[in-house]
Amino acid sequence: MHFLQDIPRFVFLTGKGGVGKTSLACALALKLADEGKRTLLVSTDPASNIGQVFSQLIGNNITPINGVDRLDALEIDPEAAASNYRERMLAPLRGSLPEDELRSTTEQLSGACTTEIAAFDEFTALLVDEKLQRDYCHIVFDTAPTGHTIRLLQLPGAWSGFLEDGRGDASCLGPLAGLEQQRERYRHAVQALSDPQQTRLVLVARADNASLREVARTRHELQETGISGQHLVVNGLMPEKEAKDDDLAAAIRQREQAALAALPAGLDGLQLDQVELKAANMLGAGNLRSLLAASGAINQIHAGAFEKATTGLPAINGLIDDIAAAGHGLVMLMGKGGVGKTTMAAAIAVELASLGMPVHLTTTDPAAHIEETVAQLPGNMKMSRIDPHAETANYRQRVLATKGKGLDSDALAMLEEDLRSPCTEEVAVFQAFARVIREAGRSFVVMDTAPTGHTLLLLDATGAYHREVTRQMGGSGMQVTTPMMQLQDPGRTRILIVTLAETTPVLEAEALQADLRRAGIEPAAWIVNRSLAAADTQSPLLRRRAAAELAEIDRVAQFSGGRFAIVPLQAEDPVGSERLARLVHGTQAATIG
């Protein structure tokens, strides 16, 4: 494979959620270690799962991988990084600042902006730390889904430019205090990212139009950032032999080959590597080593492998009927990247609209393709997206038109520098989020969210706003409803966790549910999407994968308290109102075996 040749020191794997970045990153790191090269595997995803892949705790410290020589791993934990960052900033101030000023500074360091800066600070250290350069031949980065990764890779230049040109008088002055000391390090990080002799970016996609469009957009945006050493890997392709005698496998392969034949502009100049779908989930060193090896024979299915029937599992149309009975409200779909949140959000929105309800379908995911998924809108349905770039531009204009009105030239220049801080985006996106969910008091708002880690950062900003409003209101007796209070009210908000019937997505969904519960938010139900156990297939590979799903479906039933629905894998790509309607009304689980 082309992307495995002459590998430089730094390798980043990025792409739309669910394309297999983590599996490929772990397999690549394992391959390098097996070749005798000391390797560090790093996750920059706030919802990292490389620990789950190797069945061990990793966390925010460099940890040896059990049973694998020369391979260590690190999961950059945004919350742990933020805690360490806050302590570094606050420790010198204790005993020297009045208590009220110390509290104010602590509050400045408690938001999502600090979390992002702290994680970014650790990330850049990996690119320039001299000891790491001596200790490791290669550092392989398993990144967050595309939108978050683009922002991460742009941040060294963004913060470097802000610190070079700005006056340091920003709304996130507390977080910036630590960055001010790191100018030279960020300059070296930008140089490393821009040098193809040091850095390789592997764009990972599935063979579907949305995934390929996403990596084409990513390639363009990162080229503008200066990252040019790019390769393309299409993962999880249906083997030709599986499509010969099975209608579902044949339909999947036909769809994949059509997508590859029509690569978006900008990708045709890249060398294309293809990785076939494997029967086993990519857990453990043995399965990971098979991922980048030549395809082997599919093991025969043992008799009785499908003894457990999947009839009687709840279908998604019943779940939508329950939602519709409320007449209005916020429906938020959350989960790991690539589990099909956009499709599920679109299907629910279209079905509610078909029942005569006014519906607003929106997304907080920069990489979502809701327009293509729905295609033609019903008359009583509208669609929007919370686009970080557009929201930030609008926010800056509003602030300049209000706070900037009447300022002298020096004060206006300071305000403009303040608004050029990358932290401004966090504030702008939160305000747009709060504005959209207010509509749920009179209609249905169905929200497709960004992958788990990014969504939790948004909820962190929501919680910080709630705490600040509560503090300011004090004992005034005034009644106020914050966005967090709406999310915590099951009468106003339905949180639906979307997952696949696979080990890693289910574990991440369980962790997401725990995070939500700590914030006082109780999920309404789970959706198991693209289930092979609920589909009709005779392919040995797909039947083997279906057998592995049954235990995961049992776990979903347990974690969700029996509140879940299952959606079979579709032979047709569920795009357009008609196919979305068929997905909703044709989801009765089938018996396998």
Residues 273 and 347 in one domain: no
The per-residue pLDDT for 562 is: 92
SS3 205: strand
- Judge whether 398 lies within some domain: no
Question: Choosing from 14, 16, 31, 45, which is the catalytic residue?
Answer: 45
- Name the pLDDT band for 417 (thresholds 50, 70, 90): confident
- Please give the Cα distance from 205 to 14 (Å, whole number): 9
Both 28 and 121 in a single domain? yes
Q: Catalytic pick from 22, 218, 343, 499?
A: 22
500/296: higher pLDDT: 500
**Residue 591 catalytic?**
no
Q: Inform me whether the pLDDT recorded for 74 exceeds 70.
A: yes
Residue 165 and residue 17 share a domain: yes
Residues of the chain by 3-state class (helix, strand, coil), percent to 5: 50, 15, 35
Residue 77 structural domain: 6-288
Tell me, yes or no, if 160 is annotated catalytic: no
pLDDT at site 386:
82
* 3-state class (DSSP) for residue 203: strand
Least trusted range by pLDDT, from 182-191, 212-221, 388-397, 490-499: 182-191
Same domain for 333 and 275, yes or no, is: no
Rounded CA gap, 536 and 570, in Å?
10
Considering 18, 147, 338, 453, which one is annotated as catalytic? 18
Give the mean model confidence (pLDDT) for residues 527-539.
91
Mean pLDDT of 563-585: 89
The whole-number pLDDT of residue 294 equals: 64
How sure is the predictor about 299, in pLDDT bands with cuts at 50, 70 and 90? Answer: very low
- Starting at the edge strand that comes first in sequence, how are the strands of the sheet with 63-64 ordered? 63-64, 71-75, 39-43, 138-142, 10-14, 199-205, 230-237, 272-276
> Taking a C-beta distance cutoff of 8 angstroms, is the pair 387, 433 a contact?
no
Residues 191 and 116 in one domain: yes
Task: Specify whether 260 is located in the same domain as 215.
Answer: yes
Residue of 21, 31, 336, 341 marked active site: 21
Using an 8 Å Cβ cutoff, are 114 and 82 in contact?
yes
Shared domain check, 245 and 345: no
Q: How confident is the model at residue 435 (pLDDT cuts 50, 70, 90)?
A: confident
pLDDT at residue number 512 = 86
Q: What pLDDT was estimated at residue 265?
A: 85
Whether 340 sits among the annotated catalytic residues: the reply is no
Instruction: For residue 305, tell me if it sits in a domain.
Output: no
User: Do both 330 and 207 map to the same domain?
Assistant: no
pLDDT at 311 over 90: no
Do 121 and 179 sit in the same domain of this protein?
yes
- Structure confidence at residue 476 (pLDDT): 46
**228 part of the active site:** no
Question: Mean per-residue pLDDT for 141-151?
Answer: 61
In a domain, 411, yes or no: no
What rounded mean pLDDT belongs to the chain?
A: 79
Catalytic residue among 15, 16, 17, 23: 23
247 counts as catalytic: no
pLDDT over 90 at 251, yes or no: yes
Query: What is the structure's pLDDT at 507?
Result: 86
Residue 246 within a domain: yes
Per-residue pLDDT band at 159 (split at 50, 70, 90): very low
Q: Look at residue 400 and tell me if it is in a domain.
A: no
pLDDT above 80 (res 551)? yes
What pLDDT score was predicted for residue 169? 39
CATH no. for residue 246? 3.40.50.300
- Both 13 and 146 in one domain: the answer is yes
Confidence of residue 139 (pLDDT cuts 50, 70, 90): very high
The runs of H, that is alpha helices, within 75-136 are 78-90, 99-108, 112-128, 130-135
CB distance 519 to 58 below 8 Å: no
The predicted pLDDT at position 590 comes to 32
The per-residue pLDDT for 301 is 40
* CA distances for 207 relative to 24, 146, 369, 501, 559, angstroms: 16, 16, 15, 21, 32
User: What pLDDT is stored for residue 281 in this prediction?
Assistant: 84
Residue 275 sits in the same domain as residue 373:
no
| pLDDT at 369 (0 to 100) | 75
- Region 418-443 average pLDDT: 77
Integer Cα distance of 565 and 281 in angstroms: 22
For the chain, percent of residues with pLDDT exceeding 90: 32
| 182-205 average pLDDT score | 80
- Checking if the pLDDT of 185 tops 60, the result is yes
Does residue 243 belong to any structural domain of this protein? yes
Quote the pLDDT of residue 325: 93
Do residues 568 and 591 touch, judged by C-beta distance below 8 A?
Answer: no
Query: When comparing pLDDT for 318 and 144, which is higher?
Result: 318
Residue 295 lies in a domain: no
Residue 468 confidence class, pLDDT cut points 50, 70, 90: low
CB 575 within 8 A of CB 375: yes
| pLDDT at position 257 | 95
pLDDT in tens, 122-133: 777 888 888 888
For residues 359 and 219, membership in a common domain is answered with: no
Confidence of residue 458 (pLDDT cuts 50, 70, 90): low
pTM (2 decimals)? 0.73
45 is catalytic: yes
Active site residue 576: no
Q: Determine the pLDDT at residue 222.
A: 77
Indicate whether 428 belongs to any domain.
Answer: no
Q: Which of 452, 504, 537, 539 is catalytic?
A: 504
Domains in the chain: how many in total? 2
* pLDDT (tens digit per residue) in 327-384: 999 999 998 878 899 999 999 999 999 999 999 999 877 666 788 788 788 889 998 8
